[in-house]
Every structure is written in C-alpha cells, then in structure tokens.
Chains A and B, each alone.
Chain A
C-alpha cells in the first residue's frame, strides 16, 4: 500500500513532521495502528538498520530517522495499548555503573525499537541493583549492557553474577557491547552474546529469542 511505503520512506529520510502527518491521515482513514506500526514505522526502521549495517548510513542519520519513527510511534502507542498489541519482546538496556557514555546503547535501543521490541532504557551509570530490579519483571526477556571504557566493562561480570545470585540468569538472555568489549570477553563472563554494532545487536536478540 502506497501509504505504508510513504511512511517508511519518510522515516528513512528522517522527516518527523511528515511521518506524524501521514500517520494521523492514515488513522483518519481507519487503517489500524498495528498495521501502521509494522508496515510503516518498523518497515522504515528496517531499511535504516540495513543501510547502517551495510555502511551506507551514518550514525547521526540513524538518530534523525529514529526521531521520525518516534513522532509516529507517540501517536500509535496509546492505540496499540488499547488494542492489546504485543511487542516482539522486552529488552532492558543500560550503560554500566561508572560509565557515562550512552550513544552506542541509545542506537541499539532505537534499532531494537525499530525492529518491534519494547525497550526499558535505564540510562547511563547504572548499578547492578537497578538491572536486577528490572530483570525481575515478568515481561523482560533480554538484559543488554554497554560500556565504553576498559575500566568499566569489568562491571558487566558483576551484573551477571548478581543475576545468578538473584536466580534470574535462566530467565533472561544477556547481551553485551561497547568499544572495548569482544566476543572473547563475552565468553569469559558467560554472557549469551556480543554484538559489535547496533544492527548486529538486533540480529543477535532475534536469534537468542528464536524469532
């Protein structure tokens, strides 16, 4: 349908106002919120994700597109809740304690959201207690941790241990990322997966949740 393609295209171009107008117009034509989400906004962010993965898009462009997606999503959210539409899964994300760098974590969050996941963003400088508190909630499937510093990435191990101590390690999948982090480090601390970039984080999450 042309309307969906148009919305997806404007998301890719980062045209927040146009996305908002198109979503409102589509709703007035009685197109369902779920269809608009999946065939318009998510479809657009899938293109962005693919372009980013193939090194065709720059990081700031991803964020400009994410803003456009949000302008549509903000309108759809209450309608989706009303219709009881379920997300593909819920991921709790945070940059670990002592680390204030959040750009990588934010992009992962936006890409996951663009792929249909619900995100609980804990922000930066997040202590293990806060991760545990959220991981206990029923809907959380994945815990994602980020660190940009060699001095802070070691805290990821403490969080995994805290998840074990709280009896939550089997309940949630743990994914990690950040500049100094490697697959070897993920194996060493017994995370379920490592992603070198945001687009791979989406693939990894889908893989871990068998989607």
Chain B
C-alpha cells in the first residue's frame, strides 16, 4: 500500500470468531501501513498496521476456535482463567513496590486485565468495575455508562508493557420477546493481531458471557449474547512474523495464506466440543486440572472459582 501518512481504517464483519480473524489478517496484511514499533528487533521489517473495527455477530457460534494461535489449547484455557477468574493476579507486583519504581531485573507483572477490571485501585478505593457494569445494566439496560477501564495514568506510562485493552463497554437491548440482548464492545490501544488477537477474543467473549449470565440472574430475565465488537487503535502484524506470513518458496515453506487456502475452513478450525477435553487437561501439562495441581500458591478463592469452572466444563451442554 502507498504510504500517505494516514493510518488506514479497516472494518471486518463476520459471523464467527475464526472467520473474523482470518479476514482481519488478510485486510491488515494487504491494506495496513508500515510502521516501526518499540518491540522491533534489529533487522526486522516495520510492522503492518491499521486502526481496525471487527464485528463478530455470533461469538459463541461454531466453529469457535481457529487453529492458528501461539499456544496450545490447554494454555489458552489457562489464559481464559487468567482474564475471567484472575488466575494469575498473584503474579502481580504489590502496588507499593510498583510505585517505588521498577527494577530492571524484577520481571513480575505490573497488572493483569482481571486485576484492573475486577479490582481497579484508585486513591484508597478498590473498585469491581465488572460488578458495577452488571448492576448498572440490571437497573437500566439502556444505560450508556456501563463500562470498565484498565489504564492507570500514574502506573502505566513508565512501564515496559502497559495494558493493550483499555475499556469494555456494554449495553442491553430488548429482544422483543421479554428478554434482553447483551452487546459488548472492547477498545484496545495496541494489539498483536497475528499472535494475540484470537486468544484475547476467546477470553473476552467468555467474560462477555459471564457478565450476561450475571445480568440474567440479577434481572431474572433471559439475556442472550449479541454481537461482540472489537476496536483497536493499532492492530498490527509485527515485522518479525513476516517470514511466517510470506513463507519461502525456495525452501518449500508455505505462506500463511497458502496454508489457509490449502485446507478447508473445517480443517483449520475446531468446534468447542473438540476443544473442551483439552481445556480440562491437554495431556502435555496445561489446562485447568494441571494448572490447579501446578500452581500451589494460587489463592483459595481463585482456586474455588476455577474448580467451579472445571465442574461446569465437565457438563455436556457447557460451551467453552
């Protein structure tokens, strides 16, 4: 694409997460601009980048899982637990130490999404923003004020890896049959499309369902999931991934797009039913059961929440 200095704005709409994911990669690759990032290694080409709005009309429709992401299915399950239940909030450095300044050798985390969304610290208060969203929406579904932020203007600017997710916003609409539809938007400052987007969206749509279920419980009315909208100021494909995307004809290495074209959509995605046993235990050390066995220091309430999630997963009709 010719460089004009303007960042392109791309819109992608699809019924399922894997379709949206593939379309977004194609669009950013073909229509994004070349921009350098803080993470480029010497010799890496500049990233391909755009402002992107992605609409997934039915986030839980099947197939829900693409096979292209930078982890295994058990690892993905653990990441979902991190975002939804705070599995790794105990890996975060205490606030007092963050405020003192980060030592270069200290690699403990400075935040988690769960920590910021469920326990946002401001002045002397600790605010559960997701709980506030549920309450606001349950009282008046049409409200435009149901949101949760992550950014901390005091703590985040000096750190190496400030949060990518900035804000979650939700609204209820009546479905015309006495129930509600929960619509959710997520807003991202910056995002690795090729190796993070898919996992982020699986976790965020699981959180979307959790919020929706809580509203249903509170209002005693059926709430179904509406569309999920994902808005990134900078959605990018890092230069270090270009080798993987472009392939190498001489060495017989296929490009990412050849890999997609060479297989049917069914053969490059998975249904939730296939994924579920791997979420429970992937057989190679990851998943909910190995996580509970491995992480002995995990606080008891988090352990209980994940144990409950495990119980739900073992039921036939629970969709991961």
Interface residues of A (CB under 8 A from B): 16, 53-56, 58-61, 63-64, 66-67, 70-71, 98-100, 103, 106, 110, 149, 151-152, 179-180, 182, 184
Contacts and interface: CB of A to CB of B under 8 A. Distances in A.
B109 to A, nearest CB: 9
Contact of A56 (B43, B107, B262): B262
B163 interface: no
20 contacts: A54-B254, A55-B244, A55-B247, A55-B254, A55-B255, A56-B254, A58-B67, A58-B69, A59-B70, A61-B67, A63-B284, A64-B72, A67-B278, A70-B283, A70-B284, A98-B105, A98-B107, A103-B72, A182-B42, A182-B43
A152 B284 contact: no
A63 B70 CA distance: 11
B284 A60 contact: no
Given A63-B73, A179-B240, A182-B41, A56 B160 contact: no
Contact of B282 (A58, A67, A184): A67
Contacts of B278: 64, 67
Interface residues of B, number: 37
Contacts of B157: none
Given A59-B70, A59-B71, 9 more contacts: A54-B254, A55-B256, A59-B69, A60-B67, A60-B71, A63-B74, A67-B278, A67-B284, A103-B72
A67 B283 contact: yes
A122 to B, nearest CB: 13
B179 to A, nearest CB: 35
Contacts of A58: 67-69, 259, 268
B299 interface: no
A101 to B, nearest CB: 10
B253 A55 contact: yes
Contact of B107 (A60, A63, A70, A99): A99
Give the interface SS of chain B, mostly helix, strand, loop or mixed: loop
A54 B253 contact: yes
Interface of B: 41-43, 67-76, 91, 104-107, 160, 240, 244, 247, 252-256, 258-259, 262, 268, 278, 282-286
A60 B69 contact: yes
Contact of A151 (B41, B107, B254): B107
Contacts of A100: 91
B201 to A, nearest CB: 15
Given A63-B72, A64-B278, A98-B107, A16 B283 contact: yes
Contacts of B41: 180, 182
A179 B268 CA distance: 25
Contacts of A179: 240
Nearest to A74: B283
A110 B284 contact: yes
A56 B73 contact: no
A63 B253 contact: no
Contacts of B106: 98
Nearest to A65: B284
B284 A106 contact: yes
B107 A103 contact: no
Contacts of B247: 55
Nearest to A70: B283
Contacts of B259: 55-56, 58
Interface core residue of B43, B67, B76, B240 (most chain A CB under 10 Å):
B67
A152 B106 CA distance: 9
A71 B69 CA distance: 24
Interface core residue of A66, A67, A106 (most chain B CB under 10 Å):
A67
A59 B256 CA distance: 13
A189 B105 CA distance: 18
4 smallest beta-carbon distances between A and B, as pairs = A63-B72, A67-B283, A98-B107, A58-B67
A64 B285 CA distance: 12
A103 B254 contact: no
A64 B283 CA distance: 9
A186 B256 CA distance: 28
Interface core residue of A63, A106, A152 (most chain B CB under 10 Å):
A63
Contact of B160 (A53, A67, A151): A151
Contacts of A99: 107
Contacts of A184: 42
A103 B70 contact: yes
B236 to A, nearest CB: 15
Contacts of B68: 58-59
Contacts of B268: 58
Contacts of B286: 106
A167 B105 CA distance: 27
Interface core residue of A70, A179, A180 (most chain B CB under 10 Å):
A179
Interface core residue of B105, B259, B283 (most chain A CB under 10 Å):
B283
A170 B91 CA distance: 37
A151 B104 contact: yes
